[in-house]
């Protein structure tokens, strides 16, 4: 195993068991409350696709096939601990192949019965087959994120690494004991969620992030980490907390402060479009723009765009989530101590 992000590689390890079955161990340090973080779980399934094609179809492509599209439904809350995964080959093609995947764990009501927690489709393609027309559209994040102190308003990453560059500062994700998965990265933004929303007049969040799995300062963003990053936006959740607390306080006649930190935002569906491979050695910095258009009937939408330091799109994501009581995360479970 490569020493690059070795603790993360261990956390997403997938082992073949034969007959298109695989096992993994979902780790508690990658949880939100008592439930493994959806982006982390998606990274495990990203690894599943790599392992499956290396194990079941080693001669299908001349270079290793990697996911270009993931379409997942989170049917039931997962748990830290062993997970079984099943793969069905839906289409095995020359340029693209698609598999149907299921992640199974014991039922919470019938411990001796396995049930599907996550299901979906993953499409892969080898880099050698990724040929064809390339064109730029002129798209840029709008409104433009605050500028930095570098040339032409670019971020000065040496300054930012020390904690501040212009309006950009290092941020501490809210409620770290509950959102433990957020401790696996360093986050920088032009203010917390409420501040950014007031500046933009919308629920749009900008962030630069460095990967720090288990505190490793040499952590780097790689293709396998992208699903985790796409679902990691503590400042957007800070904004959700404010919106949710205001709405709940108004409905119940309670103080807003008493309602904060009482919500959980589980993923219902997650779609990921991988646009560009990162270098094998990884990169230190990636930018995300997170946009929510409306929160209605306890359901949210999320659009996430990930860019590199050159402004090139690395990945796109759309997500449907829920706003529910944090009690539904823990339920009868206990949060595991690390």
Alpha-carbon distances of 270 from 47, 181, 228, rounded to whole Å: 16, 18, 12
Residues 6+ apart with CB under 8 A from 259: 244, 245, 248, 249, 252
Confidence of residue 283 (pLDDT cuts 50, 70, 90): very high
For 42-101, the pLDDT digits (tens) are 999 999 999 999 999 999 999 899 999 999 999 999 999 999 999 999 999 999 999 999
Residues 47 and 10: their CA atoms lie apart, in Å, by 11
Tell me which residue of 115, 65, 63 sits closest to 89, measured CA to CA: 65
Residues 27 and 37: their CA atoms lie apart, in Å, by 10
The pLDDT assigned to 52 comes to 98
The answer as to whether 243 is a domain residue is yes
For 2-32, the pLDDT digits (tens) are 467 899 999 999 999 989 999 999 999 999 9
Using a 10 angstrom Cβ sphere, with 0-12 exposed, 13-18 middle and 19 or more buried, the burial of residue 214 is middle
Residues 6+ apart with CB under 8 A from 251: none
Contact 286, 230 (CB under 8 A): no
The answer as to whether 146 is a domain residue is no
Residues 125 and 103: their CA atoms lie apart, in Å, by 22
Number of structural domains found in the chain: 2
Same domain, 227 and 268: yes
Confidence of residue 336 (pLDDT cuts 50, 70, 90): low
Same domain, 191 and 103: no
The pLDDT assigned to 173 comes to 77
The answer as to whether 133 is a domain residue is no
Same domain, 70 and 170: no
Report the run of H or E that residue 106 belongs to, with start and end: strand 97-106
Output the six-digit token pair for 26.
Answer: 């979902």
CATH number at residue 105: 2.40.160.210
Backbone torsions φ then ψ of 161, nearest 5 degrees: -60, -25
Residue 254 has pLDDT above 80, yes or no: no
Which range (21-35, 213-227, 241-255, 265-279) has the least confidence?
241-255
Tell me which residue of 9, 37, 68 sits closest to 229, measured CA to CA: 37
Confidence of residue 242 (pLDDT cuts 50, 70, 90): low
Same domain, 176 and 305: yes
Residue 259 has pLDDT above 60, yes or no: no
The answer as to whether 156 is a domain residue is yes
The answer as to whether 141 is a domain residue is no
The answer as to whether 49 is a domain residue is yes
Confidence of residue 255 (pLDDT cuts 50, 70, 90): low
Residues 112 and 261: their CA atoms lie apart, in Å, by 34
The answer as to whether 12 is a domain residue is yes
User: Which residues constitute the domain of residue 269?
Assistant: 151-330
The pLDDT assigned to 250 comes to 64
Radius of gyration of the chain (CA): 20
- pLDDT over 90 percentage in the chain: 66
Same domain, 295 and 174: yes
For 173-207, the pLDDT digits (tens) are 777 777 789 999 999 999 776 777 767 767 788 99
Same domain, 74 and 181: no
Residues 6+ apart with CB under 8 A from 194: 238, 239, 242
Count of CB atoms situated within 10 Å of the CB of 60: 15
For 216-236, the pLDDT digits (tens) are 999 999 999 999 999 998 777
Report the run of H or E that residue 120 belongs to, with start and end: strand 114-125
The whole-number average pLDDT for the span 235-245 is: 68
User: CA 107, 111, 114 angle in degrees (round to 5)?
Assistant: 50
């Amino acid at each position: 195993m490569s020493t690059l992000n070795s603790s993360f590689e261990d956390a997403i390890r997938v082992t073949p068991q034969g007959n298109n079955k695989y096992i993994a161990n979902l780790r508690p340090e990658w949880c939100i409350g008592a439930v493994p973080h959806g982006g982390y779980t998606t990274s495990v399934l990203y690894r599943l696709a790599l392992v499956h094609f290396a194990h079941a179809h080693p001669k299908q492509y001349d270079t290793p096939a990697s996911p270009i599209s993931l379409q997942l439904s989170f049917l039931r809350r997962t748990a830290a601990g062993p997970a079984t995964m099943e793969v069905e080959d839906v289409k095995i093609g020359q340029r693209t192949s698609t598999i149907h995947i299921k992640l199974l764990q014991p039922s919470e009501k019938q411990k001796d019965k396995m049930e599907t927690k996550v299901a979906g489709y993953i499409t892969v393609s080898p880099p050698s087959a990724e040929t064809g027309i390339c064109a730029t559209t002129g798209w840029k994040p709008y409104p433009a994120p605050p500028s930095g102190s570098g040339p032409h308003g670019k971020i000065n990453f040496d300054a930012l690494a020390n904690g501040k560059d212009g309006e950009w500062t290092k941020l501490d994700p809210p409620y770290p004991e509950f959102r433990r998965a957020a401790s696996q990265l360093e986050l920088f933004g032009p203010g917390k969620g409420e501040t950014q929303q007031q500046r933009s007049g919308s629920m749009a969040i900008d962030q630069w992030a460095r990967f720090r799995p288990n505190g490793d300062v040499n952590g780097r963003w790689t293709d396998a980490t992208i699903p985790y990053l796409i679902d990691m936006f503590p400042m957007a959740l800070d904004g959700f907390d404010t919106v949710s607390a205001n709405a709940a306080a108004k409905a119940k006649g309670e103080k807003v402060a008493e309602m904060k930190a009482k919500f959980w935002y589980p993923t219902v569906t997650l779609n990921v479009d991988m646009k560009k491979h990162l270098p094998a050695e990884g990169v230190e910095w990636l930018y995300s723009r997170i946009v929510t258009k409306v929160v209605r009937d306890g359901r949210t939408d999320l659009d996430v765009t990930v860019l590199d330091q050159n402004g090139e799109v690395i990945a796109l994501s759309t997500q449907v989530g829920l706003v529910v009581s944090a009690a539904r995360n823990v339920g009868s479970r206990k949060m595991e101590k690390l």
